[in-house]
Structure 1
Amino acid sequence: LFAIAFALLRKYPTNEEEDFDRLIDNWSRREQPLFIERALPAVTPNNDEPPPDYHSEENLLVFNQAIADYLVTSGYTVSCKEFCREANISINDSADKKDQLEKKWTSVIRLQKKVMDLELKLQEALQEATVGGPTREKRSPGEWIPRPPEKFELRGHRDTVTHVVFHPTFDVIASASEDATIKIWDYESGEHERTLKGHTAPVQDIAFDHTGKWLLSCSADMSIRLWDFQTYQCIKTMHGHDHNVSSVTFTPSGDHIISSSRDKTIKIWEVSTTFCIKTLTGHREWVRMVRVYQDGTLIASASVDHTIRIWSLPSGECKSELRGHENVVECIAWANDSAGPYISEPIANGGTEVCSFLVLQVVCW
């Protein structure tokens, strides 16, 4: 409708029409043809009724009368006379179409706003889906990396941040730092909620249990601390390692704690008593990280001695020693349970290698 009015007024320009032209121009620049195409899609006909004809003589007459009424009421008399002459209608015919053009305009603008709001929501949903978890089958590896800009930049630590973990149920994250503190953040608002203090040296690693009730931390002060996340109080401090405690984690059941240290050992602790019930030895250098397999039966450890070891959690026996790296193995992670017991470990020279424990089971056992 407004495209018709715009074309006619362009054909018969006068000074008195400049305001109307400017109004139409502004709206046209906002992708008016694309909007009309989206807002007025073709109607799929039912079996019982034919599709409506938007260009019928009856509809065209209604449009022309509405345009003529607008021109008359707005004082564009010269354009109105020329328009009525070419459209073969009388000025009096537009009397019963009073304010039709304004009503149509208002309806279109309201509908356009709704469409734009829905498009914005769709775009946000697609962005969240892309950042949240692109599938391996549909996306290239480069698309797995989060895209800037970041949602928040959380500042507050006074030294290097060593580790960050998500809470399993709440919208918070915990961060550990070499400033000897642990900070709790609301990742939906970006606000800092609390700082946990107690360690006297850099905090190397932190972990939540599967319920989110307990937070575990380990430090270069040779201690492990167990925190009640509901009260933010340290309820127990565990000592037993003879050097920097570099890694700590809960077993999937939450009944035990596994820790590794620069003293070359791995220790298993009982949560209920906080006693060390077993010490695993075998690595020849600093054990940088330990991680437990999802079923709770295996432990993987990464060490400065260039090796990875697979341990039986129930017996404490070393089942396999994986060799192949030529530098420090900094960290290690198990693949998802559905993929089988695979481990991936970044190394100090920047590379990443993937080893299959299923193959080594056959060879080594």
Structure 2
Amino acid sequence: MQRSKILTQRQESELNRAIIQYLEPICSENESNQTLINQLSNLLLNENENKLIKNNEIIDNYLEKKWSSVIRLQKKILDLENELTNIRNIIDIDNDENKIKNTSILGKDRINWLPFSSSQNFETSSIINSVKLHPTLPLIYAGCIDGSIQIYNFVSNENSLPEKIIKAHTRSCTKLAISYNQIDINKNDQPQYILASCSSDLSIKIYDSKTFQHLRTLKGHEHTISSIKFSKNSNHLYSVSRDKTVKIWDIIEGICIKSFIGHSDWVRDLDICNSKEYDEFVLTCSNDQSGRLTHAQSGIGIAMMIGHSHVIETIKFLPLTSNIIIDKYLKENQDFFPSIPIVILDNEIYNEIGYKYCITGSRDNSIKIWLIPPPSIIQGRSPMPSKYNQAQAWLITTLTGHQSWVKCIEIHPNGRFIFSGSDDKTIKIWDLNDLNNSGNIGVIRSLSNNEGFLNDLDFARLTKSKNSSVNDKILTHEEILKDIEIRIRCMLVSGGTDNIIRLWK
């Protein structure tokens, strides 16, 4: 018999013994098959090798263990190849003079921190629809398709096991939210951060985020609840649903205090902006392929975002730190935007209402950035629809690079970087500064070691400022960034259909 030119004699001997060991129990019940095994043993093995098998001097299930080792090795090779691709992307970017500087790309300065690879993975028992990081504790919450909320402690010695599994809902848990402030929900002088979950079972559940105690159940929607968001300045929780409504809840009293309809189809996502002068504004997006800005307390529509060709899955206000970048681009390229009255960019109303730009992600695989026209302000009345551009937002730019639905978007605390998760199994990072370099926003990093669709992302919140008046006193963009650099927590968490929570830090 001709010897293998690839395997050594020892490797060939081990392989032959493993094959015989694997086949023997399969063929043992049939006499003719047993004869075949004996002949095969005589052909492949010498007398000493036959004795090793009969004396059980070969590891049990040797072939299966070798094969599973190969699979694990293949997975490791794939992960390393993905990391190598990321490194090459960084090198290519570093060599391009129009891209951001090396220190920014590599995240050596905290204010420009970007994730490179996941530092910890936590495997859940079900598909993950939503993920959230606790504002202060080392806890990650995952809302799962089986209705459970699974909680992991990422500094625990037993972090492979969940800290707690809450059987929250009878159907899929679609979204999680955590309050911005500690709330004394039971009026017992023990305020805590509040965890909320919503579901296709038509309920919203309220929990103590630290003790995991169930506090409230909110009911009132007539179809799947898609998303929820806490107000930053009150005890209010906002929810949107397939029943087309937006509802505002007082979580202390456990009641719905307002409900309005702004879309003609399933409302998918929302975001909240708080204004000192005009209460709160809510952004929503829908299956009707539009985004809408509404004055929350009155329910009056202020502006629309129209331009996507498919369902809009996610929508967010861009932080005020993004304004300086996009304003500069618009002022230097006025010819490209003849319908925008450039003077409105310096309109003080934007400082009063707290927003200027927003971003949307859609099933048309694209991300769009919009300039929202300011509302019409009449003294003594609620804000009214904008008088500009027939109350429609101006499309500033479209980000293309994903190969499938864009499902989630997160904004870096510095307002410069955009994170997007997609059904193409990648998290892409975009740099707004590219607008002022090349006129287009491209992908500066793609995190591709995910094995399933990306359903949600959450960037860790800034730590509380030690100076309670810092937000009132800081006036310049540089001072704002300096404060963010002190307070930033360099952590991103992701979850999706591969049942794995990934912590990037």
Q: In 2, distance between residues paired with 1:250 and 1:167?
A: 12
Residue aligning to 2:65: none
Q: Does 1:332 align with 2:409?
A: yes
1:320 is matched with 397
| Residue in structure 2 matched with residue 246 of structure 1 by the alignment | 268
In 2, distance between residues paired with 1:246 and 1:187? 25
Q: Which runs of 5+ in 2 are unaligned?
A: 1-112, 123-153, 183-192, 321-354, 375-392, 441-505
TM-score using structure 2 length: 0.43
Separation of aligned partners in 2, 1:308 and 1:139: 22
Which residue does 2:16 correspond to in 1?
A: none
| Separation in 2, partners of 1:356, 1:188 | 35
Distance 1:229 1:314, change over 3 A: farther
Q: List aligned pairs for 1:278-289, cutoff 5 A.
A: 278-289=303-314
Report deviation, 1:297: 2.3
Change (3 A) 1:252 1:320: farther
| Counterpart for residue 342 of structure 1 | 417
Instruction: Indicate the residue corresponding to 1:113 in structure 2.
Output: none
1:79-228 matches, cutoff 5 A: 141-143=118-120, 146=154, 147-170=159-182, 171-228=193-250
Q: CA deviation at 1:341?
A: 2.1
Letter in 1 for 2:227: D
What SS is found at the alignment partner of 2:160? coil
Q: Distance in 1 between matches of 2:268 and 2:426?
A: 21
SS in 2 for 1:360: helix
Distance 1:201 1:186 in 2: 26
* Residue matched to 2:359: 300
Is the deviation greater in 341-350 or in 252-261?
A: 252-261
Offset of residue 342 of structure 1: 1.3
When you count helix as a share of all residues, which structure comes out higher? 1
Q: Which position in structure 1 is the counterpart of 2:368?
A: 309
Q: Which amino acid aligns with 1:276?
A: G
In structure 1, give the amino acid aligned to 2:403: E
Alpha-carbon distance in 2 for matches of 1:276, 1:222? 15
Deviation at 1:317, TM superposition (A): 1.2
Number of the residue aligned with 1:358: 433
Given the alignment, which residue of 274, 278, 290 partners 1:265?
Answer: 290
Which residue identity does 1:168 align to in structure 2?
Y
Aligned-partner SS, 1:331: strand
Map Cα deviations across residues 20-63 of structure 1 (whole Å, 9 max, x no partner): xxxxxxxxxxxxxxxxxxxxxxxxxxxxxxxxxxxxxxxxxxxx
CA distance in 2, matches of 1:173, 1:188: 9
Q: Aligned Cα RMSD in Å?
A: 2.4
Distance in 2, matches of 1:252 and 1:342, equals 22
The answer for the alignment partner of 1:232 in structure 2 is 254
| CA 1:200–1:299: 2 relative to 1, 3 Å | same
- Give the CA deviation at 1:270: 0.4
**Contact (CA 8 Å) 2:221, 2:241: kept in 1 or not?**
yes
Q: 1:182 to 1:361 in 2, by over 3 A?
A: farther
Q: Matched residues, percent identical? A: 23
Residue 272 of structure 1 deviates from its aligned partner by 2.8
Q: 1:137 to 1:292 in 2, by over 3 A?
A: closer
Provide TM-score, normalisation by structure 1. Answer: 0.59
Q: Which has the higher contact order (CA 8 A, sep 6+)?
A: 2
Cα 1:360–1:185, aligned 2, differ >3 Å: closer, same or farther? same
Q: Distance in 2 between matches of 1:272 and 1:220?
A: 21
Q: CA deviation at 1:312?
A: 1.4
State the one-letter code of the partner of 1:271: A
- Does the Cα contact within 8 Å between 2:285 and 2:315 map onto a contact in 1? yes
1:359 aligned partner, one-letter code: D
Q: 1:255 Cα deviation (Å)?
A: 2.1
Shift of 1:223: 0.9
Identify if the C-alpha distance between structure 1 residues 235 and 322 changes in structure 2 by more than 3 Å, giving closer, same or farther.
same
Instruction: Give 1:271 shift.
Output: 2.0
CA distance in structure 2 between the partners assigned to 1:347 and 1:221 by the alignment: 25
